[in-house]
């Protein structure tokens, strides 16, 4: 095959096990949109591409045809197929452009594990910390009481004693663990001792430790389908065999999991607010999940990342609160409740696992930064945390109401899911609209949204957009909806 820019481009990033034509179309489209395939670059012939990826030639021809109809490629008679120089999605650089989409350039010389790890996205340049409608997973950073936090931090620094400057406990600063235990008991229905809590940097770190400590490479774990990509990637990187289990409006379908892989060693779930669909795991399924775990000796990893934010009533108690048998590892993060740069989260493990987790934490990272934990501890014990969460619940709830009201203008193009929780919500698109094309069109209009299809693990996900609403005010929501409407209108005109 004649050498072309194409050979530098890795296909295969993102959900696998999709129908081949969908896989190829989505991978090529993403490579073009993200600039990994340069404008004007010549694609290999359909025959070469089919051979390279083990596809039927007709599949490749069909995909080329489809991308041609969307304007991503052009065919030149006798010369082949080229990336269009005039893309349908030309737009200003956005946050998504500046992340490394797991390109092959990072994987030169890496081990198989390293290659797996390098498939994750990371910011190539500093991400502009501006409130963009509808960037997902963003708390409102302007609403954080920074002056108060600074006072607490200054006081701690002034009074810092040997205990705060020397080597810390791998499980975390004991007074913070006590404060977190008290908070979990009163707010999340989780009764635990401070000794069962590990302070970690993030849900991500907790899941990485759990996967490596509890599963041997190749052992199976259930993952919701669709799922939070951060969880999927970290489990894969740990060598876990992922078993996608369908999730719907009531969370993970436990009966389906039992049918597909009853002997899985672990289940990763988001019971309070399923990512990305937004549903809550029903009580019936909560009991079914626990029963399954007890009968199989399996673990459940409960990711309770944004459960404080429920706007139609008090937050629903955590699954961990029902866990009489000690199968649930419960994890929460201050990333959403306070601010992501804090890098502090907590993991509650059954007593028998405490020493193993503490030793592993000590091995990979010694202990979490002590001063930051001490400031957070003061913030919680002096009542500021509860006050801030209460205020944010009110603020974000009012913003969701604004979004709901405004989205009526997009009737026939976007329909919001009924959930009333979290920092994000799904808006469903008409089935014939490709959500990734909609994402690209929205970016062209200055709006950031995520495609539900990007969360698919195995099953094709319905076409939809994940919209973050918490970090933008009413005016920005209104403007953003106008921009999104214009983008969706364009996409629909292209796909009548
Ligand atoms: C389901 C889920 N868990 C965890 C996180 C992030 O938490 P952390 O920053 O603590 O890893 C996110 C962030 O978006 C998320 O969606």
CATH number at residue 420: 3.90.1150.10
Where does the pLDDT of residue 96 fall: very low under 50, low under 70, confident under 90, or very high at 90 and above? low
Decide if pLDDT at 281 tops 70: yes
User: Is any atom of ligand 1 closer than 6 Å to the C-beta of 455?
Assistant: no
Name the residue with higher pLDDT: 196 or 94: 196
Task: Tell me: do 462 and 374 sit in the same domain.
Answer: no
What pLDDT, on a 0 to 100 scale, did the predictor assign at position 6?
61
Where does the pLDDT of residue 137 fall: very low under 50, low under 70, confident under 90, or very high at 90 and above? very high
Q: Are strands 345-348 and 328-333 parallel, antiparallel or unpaired?
A: antiparallel
The whole-chain average pLDDT of the chain stands at: 90
Task: Say if 473 falls within a structural domain.
Answer: yes
Of all protein residues, the one whose alpha carbon is nearest to atom 12 of ligand 1 is 305
Of all protein residues, the one whose alpha carbon is nearest to atom 13 of ligand 1 is 137
Of all protein residues, the one whose alpha carbon is nearest to atom 16 of ligand 1 is 228
Task: Tell me: do 379 and 407 sit in the same domain.
Answer: no
Question: Candidates 209, 229, 230, 345: which one to mutate for ligand 1, based on the most atoms within 8 Å of Cβ?
Answer: 230
Mean pLDDT over 344-352 rounds to: 97
Mean pLDDT over 54-59 rounds to: 84
In contact, 440 and 422? CB cutoff 8 Å: no
What pLDDT, on a 0 to 100 scale, did the predictor assign at position 17?
57
DSSP string, 265-276: SEEEE--SS-TT
Task: Say if 171 falls within a structural domain.
Answer: yes
Poorest-confidence range of 120-124, 290-294, 416-420, 453-457? 120-124
Q: How far does residue 113's CA lie from ligand 1's centre (Å)?
A: 22
Q: How far does residue 203's CA lie from ligand 1's centre (Å)?
A: 6
Task: Tell me: do 261 and 356 sit in the same domain.
Answer: yes
Where does the pLDDT of residue 209 fall: very low under 50, low under 70, confident under 90, or very high at 90 and above? very high
User: Is any atom of ligand 1 closer than 6 Å to the C-beta of 203?
Assistant: yes
Residue-range definition of the domain harbouring residue 464: 396-494
Decide if pLDDT at 48 tops 60: yes
Q: What are the start-end ranges of the H helices in 282-383?
A: 283-296, 334-337, 354-365, 370-381
Task: Say if 55 falls within a structural domain.
Answer: yes
Last-in-domain residue among 386, 410, 444: 386
Task: Tell me: do 280 and 423 sit in the same domain.
Answer: no
- Tell me which long-range contacts 385-392 makes (C-beta under 8 A, separation of at least 24): 385/183, 385/337, 385/338, 388/144, 388/145, 388/337, 388/338, 389/308, 389/337, 391/143, 392/139, 392/140, 392/143, 392/308, 392/309, 392/337, 392/470
Domain harbouring 4, CATH code = 1.10.10.10
Task: Tell me: do 200 and 317 sit in the same domain.
Answer: yes
What pLDDT, on a 0 to 100 scale, did the predictor assign at position 14?
43
What pLDDT, on a 0 to 100 scale, did the predictor assign at position 130?
77
Decide if pLDDT at 33 tops 90: no
Task: Say if 126 falls within a structural domain.
Answer: no
Decide if pLDDT at 384 tops 70: yes
Task: Say if 467 falls within a structural domain.
Answer: yes
Domain harbouring 259, CATH code = 3.40.640.10
Mean pLDDT over 430-449 rounds to: 95
User: Is any atom of ligand 1 closer than 6 Å to the C-beta of 335?
Assistant: yes
Name the residue with higher pLDDT: 338 or 33: 338
Task: Tell me: do 293 and 255 sit in the same domain.
Answer: yes
Where does the pLDDT of residue 4 fall: very low under 50, low under 70, confident under 90, or very high at 90 and above? very low
Burial of 278 (0-12, 13-18, 19+ CB in 10 A): buried
Task: Say if 109 falls within a structural domain.
Answer: no
Mean pLDDT over 99-120 rounds to: 72
Q: How far does residue 202's CA lie from ligand 1's centre (Å)?
A: 7
Poorest-confidence range of 80-84, 413-417, 481-485? 80-84
> Is the alpha carbon torsion for 337, 339, 207, 183 positive or negative?
negative
Tokens of 351: 């007593």
Mean pLDDT over 108-114 rounds to: 87
Decide if pLDDT at 218 tops 60: yes
> In this predicted model, what pLDDT tens digit does every residue of 146-163 receive, in sequence order?
999 999 999 999 988 888
What pLDDT, on a 0 to 100 scale, did the predictor assign at position 126?
66
Task: Tell me: do 150 and 281 sit in the same domain.
Answer: yes
Ligand 1: atom nearest CA of 333 is 10
Mean pLDDT over 25-47 rounds to: 82
- Using left for φ > 0, alpha for ψ between -120 and 50, and beta otherwise, residue 314 falls in beta
Mean pLDDT over 321-327 rounds to: 96
Name the residue with higher pLDDT: 102 or 262: 262
Where does the pLDDT of residue 410 fall: very low under 50, low under 70, confident under 90, or very high at 90 and above? very high
Residue among 370, 383, 375, 376 at smallest CA distance from 156: 375
Ligand 1: atom nearest CA of 137 is 14
For residue 490, how far is the Cα from the chain centroid?
Answer: 28
Decide if pLDDT at 387 tops 60: yes
- How far is it, in rounded angstroms, from Cα 122 to Cα 136? 16
Q: Total domain count for the chain? A: 3
Decide if pLDDT at 478 tops 70: yes
Task: Say if 269 falls within a structural domain.
Answer: yes
Task: Tell me: do 170 and 240 sit in the same domain.
Answer: yes
Ligand 1: atom nearest CA of 345 is 10
Residue among 126, 382, 422 at smallest CA distance from 271: 422
Where does the pLDDT of residue 15 fall: very low under 50, low under 70, confident under 90, or very high at 90 and above? very low
User: Is any atom of ligand 1 closer than 6 Å to the C-beta of 333?
Assistant: yes
How many CB atoms sit inside 10 A of residue 372's CB? 19
> In this predicted model, what pLDDT tens digit does every residue of 249-274 receive, in sequence order?
999 999 999 999 999 999 999 999 99
Task: Tell me: do 381 and 400 sit in the same domain.
Answer: no
User: Is any atom of ligand 1 closer than 6 Å to the C-beta of 204?
Assistant: yes
The pTM is what? 0.81
Name the residue with higher pLDDT: 208 or 37: 208
Task: Tell me: do 35 and 88 sit in the same domain.
Answer: yes
What pLDDT, on a 0 to 100 scale, did the predictor assign at position 92?
41
What pLDDT, on a 0 to 100 scale, did the predictor assign at position 31?
79
Task: Say if 415 falls within a structural domain.
Answer: yes
User: Is any atom of ligand 1 closer than 6 Å to the C-beta of 268?
Assistant: no
Share of the chain above pLDDT 70, in %: 90
User: Is any atom of ligand 1 closer than 6 Å to the C-beta of 228?
Assistant: yes
User: Is any atom of ligand 1 closer than 6 Å to the C-beta of 305?
Assistant: yes
From start to end of 15-101, where are the E strands? 73-76, 80-83, 99-100
Q: How far does residue 318's CA lie from ligand 1's centre (Å)?
A: 16
> In this predicted model, what pLDDT tens digit does every residue of 61-93 receive, in sequence order?
888 887 887 778 888 767 889 888 877 654 444
Mean pLDDT over 227-240 rounds to: 96
Name the residue with higher pLDDT: 103 or 245: 245
Last-in-domain residue among 67, 99, 131: 99
Where does the pLDDT of residue 144 fall: very low under 50, low under 70, confident under 90, or very high at 90 and above? very high
Task: Tell me: do 288 and 377 sit in the same domain.
Answer: yes
What pLDDT, on a 0 to 100 scale, did the predictor assign at position 330?
98
* Residue owning tokens 């994940």: 466
Where does the pLDDT of residue 59 fall: very low under 50, low under 70, confident under 90, or very high at 90 and above? confident
What pLDDT, on a 0 to 100 scale, did the predictor assign at position 93?
44
Ligand 1: atom nearest CA of 228 is 1
Last-in-domain residue among 386, 406, 426: 386
In contact, 99 and 123? CB cutoff 8 Å: yes
Decide if pLDDT at 8 tops 70: no
Q: How far does residue 68's CA lie from ligand 1's centre (Å)?
A: 37
Q: How far does residue 204's CA lie from ligand 1's centre (Å)?
A: 7
Q: How far does residue 21's CA lie from ligand 1's centre (Å)?
A: 31
Task: Tell me: do 172 and 318 sit in the same domain.
Answer: yes
């Amino acid at each position: 095959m004649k050498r072309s820019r194409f050979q530098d481009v890795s296909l295969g990033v993102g959900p696998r096990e999709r129908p081949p034509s969908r896989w190829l179309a989505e991978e090529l489209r993403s490579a073009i949109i993200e600039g990994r395939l340069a404008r004007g670059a010549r694609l290999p012939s359909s025959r070469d591409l089919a051979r390279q990826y083990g596809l039927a030639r007709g599949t490749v021809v069909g995909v080329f045809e489809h991308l041609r109809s969307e304007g991503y490629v052009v065919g030149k008679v006798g010369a082949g197929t080229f990336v269009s120089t005039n893309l349908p999605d030309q737009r200003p650089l956005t946050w998504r452009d500046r992340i490394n989409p797991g390109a092959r350039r990072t994987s030169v010389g890496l081990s198989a594990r390293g290659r797996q790890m390098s498939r994750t996205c990371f910011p190539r340049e500093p991400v502009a910390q501006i409130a963009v409608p509808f960037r997902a997973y963003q708390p409102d950073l302007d609403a954080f009481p920074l002056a108060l936090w600074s006072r607490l931090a200054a006081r701690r620094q002034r009074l810092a004693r040997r205990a705060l400057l020397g080597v810390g406990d791998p499980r975390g600063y004991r007074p913070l663990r006590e404060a977190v235990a008290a908070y979990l008991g009163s707010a999340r229905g989780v009764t635990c001792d401070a000794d069962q809590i590990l302070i970690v940097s993030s849900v991500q770190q907790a899941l990485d430790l759990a996967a490596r400590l509890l599963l041997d490479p190749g052992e199976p774990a259930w993952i919701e389908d669709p799922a939070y990509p951060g969880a999927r990637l970290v489990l894969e990187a740990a060598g876990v065999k992922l078993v996608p289990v369908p999730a719907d409006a009531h969370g993970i379908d436990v009966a389906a999991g039992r049918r597909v892989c009853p002997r899985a060693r672990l289940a990763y779930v988001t019971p309070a607010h399923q990512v990305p669909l937004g549903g809550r795991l029903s009580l019936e399924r909560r009991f079914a999940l626990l029963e399954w775990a007890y009968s199989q000796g399996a673990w459940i990893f409960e990711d309770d990342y944004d459960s404080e934010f429920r706007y139609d009533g008090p937050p629903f108690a955590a699954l961990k609160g029902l866990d009489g048998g000690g199968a649930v590892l419960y994890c929460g993060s201050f990333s959403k409740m306070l601010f992501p740069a804090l890098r502090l989260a907590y993991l509650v493990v059954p007593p028998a696992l405490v020493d193993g987790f503490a030793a592993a934490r000590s091995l990979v990272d010694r202990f979490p930064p002590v001063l930051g934990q001490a400031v957070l501890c003061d913030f919680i014990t002096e009542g500021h945390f509860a006050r801030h969460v209460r205020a944010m619940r009110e603020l974000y709830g009012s913003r969701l109401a604004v979004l709901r009201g405004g989205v009526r203008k997009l009737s026939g193009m976007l329909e919001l899911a009924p959930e009333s929780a979290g920092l994000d919500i799904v808006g469903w698109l008409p089935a014939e609209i490709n959500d990734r094309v909609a994402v690209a069109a929205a970016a062209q209009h200055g709006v950031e949204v995520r495609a539900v299809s990007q969360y698919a693990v195995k099953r094709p996900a319905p076409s939809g957009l994940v919209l973050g609403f918490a970090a933008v005010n009413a005016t920005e929501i209104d403007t953003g909806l106008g921009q999104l409407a214009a983008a969706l209108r364009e996409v629909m005109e292209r796909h009548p």
